[in-house]
Amino acid sequence: MNKEQLYQLCLSFIEQRIQTAETALTQAREASNDDTKSSAGDKYETSREMMQQDIDRNKRLLMDAEENRKVLEAVRNTPPSDQIRGGSLVYTNQGIFYISISAGQLQIEGKTVFGISSASPIGKLMMGKKKGDDFSFNGKQYIIESFA
């Protein structure tokens, strides 16, 4: 398992989110354009407002996914360091973590790796740590065994 494989899994995850948001946004815009004014004016206005809220929500999801792609690209080729930082692949006694974007559980070579953001609560606790350091999160003690 290497960081490039994990990067590709995260990229696939984020590309899927972008595709889903773009599709939903297109569908919401088409529905809004197809809506014709009925004789029930209030019903029409409520419907248009709901469609606009749907469009706005999908725009935010798309922007968030595109920001995540930028974050992911920024950590792709981080050079080796003596401290954990964005792009690090961290092995602990409680699991393996790839500090990049919040992508959840990634399955690779029969192992589970957690894609986490450096801004997540556990990510913040890991940042700057070194091999042998420990921290506590959600009642569990984590020991940094190694990282790359």
Put the strands of the sheet holding 95-100 in their side by side order: 104-108, 111-117, 95-100, 89-92, 140-147, 134-137
pTM to 2 decimal places: 0.84
**Domain map (residue ranges) of the chain:** 3-74, 89-147
User: What pLDDT tens digit does each residue of the chain (148 aa) get?
Assistant: 889 999 999 999 999 999 999 999 898 888 877 765 554 555 657 777 888 888 899 999 999 999 999 999 999 988 889 999 999 999 999 999 999 999 999 999 999 999 999 999 999 999 999 999 999 999 999 999 999 9
Of 64, 60, 56, 98, nearest to 78 (Cα)? 98
How far is the C-alpha of 106 from the C-alpha of 98, rounded, in Å? Answer: 9
